[in-house]
Every structure is written in structure tokens, then in C-alpha cells.
């Protein structure tokens, strides 16, 4: 177990917003790609400090890593939770990677959104971990399709937050008659879309555990609603001496824009 933790630490030396199980899914996916190709290319949308880039950067079989990140923003996710990525630049990420003496020669970075990129280089693995709103994630996925090889894999992080975007993508893929297989990895926030020859992959053999995607989405829907209520509902209490008022509290639904006054927690 300690050896295993040590291995994860070596492959992911930089702080990452992924859990150990998410990391394992990423490693198992890289393994799958390594087995089928003499070399491969990795594209990541949302790199933050570079925490999820390092295994591909360290891998000799990986010939190119493209990191796309629209830097320096403060954004809300689908839970109406506020995330600040201010003062985290591509340069800071590259400095972090260099600290661990990881070669960055094959690393290309783009500060912006994938939809702005003009060329259409093709990648074997695309990891979508940008801003977790349905709109953004859907946009990331449809714009990624142009960059994927025929035989390729697209991984998503934070499935419990952006599952609706994935569902919309499935509608789109079916409409476009693009064959795919959707897999949800159990006890992890990762899910994956498999294309071409990867569709026939033996998922039970190659991955730790998988679960039913639609069942997972039904549960995630309830949890997401609770997050949204907690983040947007303000309860104002009034204390009456003789409780004249039948309802001594008032509920107020904050608009997405004003919800930041979280005095609900005070």
C-alpha cells in the first residue's frame, strides 16, 4: 500500500484537484493507450498548477502534451460555488513542473479556450477538467471532437457536477452518428467516452471498478440540487417574544449573481 502511495506521489508530485482514485483512472487510461500505440499525444483542458499533466509529461511514449487553460478567472460552477484561479499563470505552472526536474520540451500551453484554437492537431487522450458548468463542459466537449483521433478517449473530471453536459454530448454524438461507449468509474469523479477501437476494450479487466452511468446521474442530480439550495438559499430568522408570527423565518432565493452573500452560514 505504501509502495502504491509512493508511486502515485512520484507520478503526481504537484498538488492536483484530483483524488487518488481519479489519478488511478488517469494512469489506467494512459496504460491502455500505451498498449495500443508506439507513441501518443495528450491534450488537457484545465491544468491549474499542472497536477494532472505530470504522468504524460514523464512518459517517454508521450510525444506531445497540450495544456489549454483560460487563466486568471474567478468562476462559479454548476453548484453555484465560487472558485478563484487568480494569479495562477502558465508560467507558474511550468515553474512548478521544472521544480521536479520534469522535462517540458514536449509541453505546449495555450492561455484561453479550446474553441479559439485554429489548427486541428489530433490527440489520443483528451482530459476535460475546465470550468464545471454544463455550458462550459458541453462547449469543451464539442470543441474537443475536432482534436480527437478516430481511436481515442475523452476523460471528464467532476462527473457529479457536469453529468448533464455529458448527457447532452451523448445526444449530440448519437445525432452525428458517432459511435461511442460511456463509462463511469466507481468511487471516482472520472468518466470516459471511448471511441473507435477503444469501444471494444475490456473495461472490467483494464479498470479498477465501473458503475452504471445513468444510475450515477440520478443520484448526482439529487446531490447537485442540495448543493445549489445550500449555496443560494438565504434564511432570515426573526425572534418574536410571543411568537405572533406563525412563520418566524423568511426564505430568500438569491440570484446566481448575488448569491455570494453567504451569510446563511454565519
130 touching ligand SAM, by CB under 6 A: yes
- Number of residues in contact with ligand SAM under rule CB under 6 A: 20
Minimum separation from the CB atom of position 41 to ligand SAM (A): 17
148 touching ligand SAM, by CB under 6 A: no
Site map for ligand SAM, 97-126, x if CB under 6 A? ----------------x-------------
**For residues 68-97, which are near ligand SAM according to CB under 6 A?**
68-71, 73, 85
Stretch that binds ligand SAM, among 1-9, 12-20, 216-224, 257-265 (CB under 6 A): 12-20
The answer to whether the CB of 151 falls within 8 A of the CB of 36 is yes
131 touching ligand SAM, by CB under 6 A: yes
- Name the residue nearer to ligand SAM (CB basis): 54 or 201: 54
259 touching ligand SAM, by CB under 6 A: no
- Name the residue nearer to ligand SAM (CB basis): 72 or 221: 72
Stretch that binds ligand SAM, among 15-23, 204-212, 213-221, 230-238 (CB under 6 A): 15-23
Strands 233-237 and 249-253: antiparallel
The answer to whether the CB of 129 falls within 8 A of the CB of 157 is yes
Q: Which residues in this chain contact ligand SAM in the complex, by CB under 6 A?
A: 16-18, 45-48, 51-52, 68-71, 73, 85, 113, 129-131, 136
Amino acid at each position: 500500500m505504501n509502495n502504491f502511495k509512493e508511486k502515485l506521489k512520484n507520478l503526481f508530485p504537484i498538488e492536483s484537484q484530483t483524488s487518488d482514485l481519479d489519478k488511478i483512472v488517469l494512469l489506467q487510461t494512459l496504460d491502455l493507450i500505451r498498449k495500443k500505440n508506439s507513441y501518443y499525444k495528450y491534450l488537457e483542458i484545465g491544468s491549474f498548477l499542472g497536477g494532472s499533466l505530470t504522468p504524460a509529461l514523464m512518459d517517454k511514449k508521450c510525444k506531445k502534451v497540450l495544456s489549454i487553460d483560460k487563466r486568471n478567472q474567478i468562476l462559479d460552477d454548476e453548484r453555484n460555488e465560487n472558485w478563484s484561479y487568480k494569479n495562477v499563470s502558465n508560467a507558474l505552472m511550468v515553474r512548478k513542473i521544472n521544480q521536479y526536474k520534469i522535462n517540458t520540451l514536449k509541453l505546449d500551453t495555450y492561455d484561453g479556450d479550446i474553441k479559439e484554437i485554429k489548427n486541428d492537431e489530433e490527440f489520443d487522450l483528451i482530459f476535460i477538467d475546465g470550468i464545471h458548468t454544463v455550458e462550459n463542459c458541453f462547449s469543451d466537449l464539442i470543441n474537443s471532437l475536432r482534436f480527437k483521433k478516430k481511436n481515442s478517449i475523452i476523460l471528464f473530471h467532476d462527473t457529479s457536477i457536469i453529468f448533464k453536459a455529458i448527457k447532452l454530448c451523448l445526444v449530440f454524438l448519437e445525432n452525428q452518428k458517432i459511435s461511442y461507449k460511456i463509462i463511469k468509474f466507481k468511487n471516482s469523479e472520472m468518466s470516459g467516452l471511448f471511441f473507435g477501437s477503444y469501444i471494444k476494450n475490456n473495461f472490467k479487466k483494464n479498470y479498477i471498478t465501473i458503475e452504471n452511468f445513468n444510475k450515477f446521474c440520478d443520484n448526482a442530480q439529487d446531490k447537485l440540487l442540495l448543493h445549489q439550495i445550500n449555496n443560494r438559499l438565504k434564511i432570515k430568522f426573526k425572534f418574536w417574544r410571543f411568537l405572533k408570527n406563525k412563520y418566524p423565518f423568511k426564505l430568500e432565493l438569491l440570484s446566481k449573481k448575488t448569491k455570494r452573500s453567504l451569510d446563511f452560514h454565519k
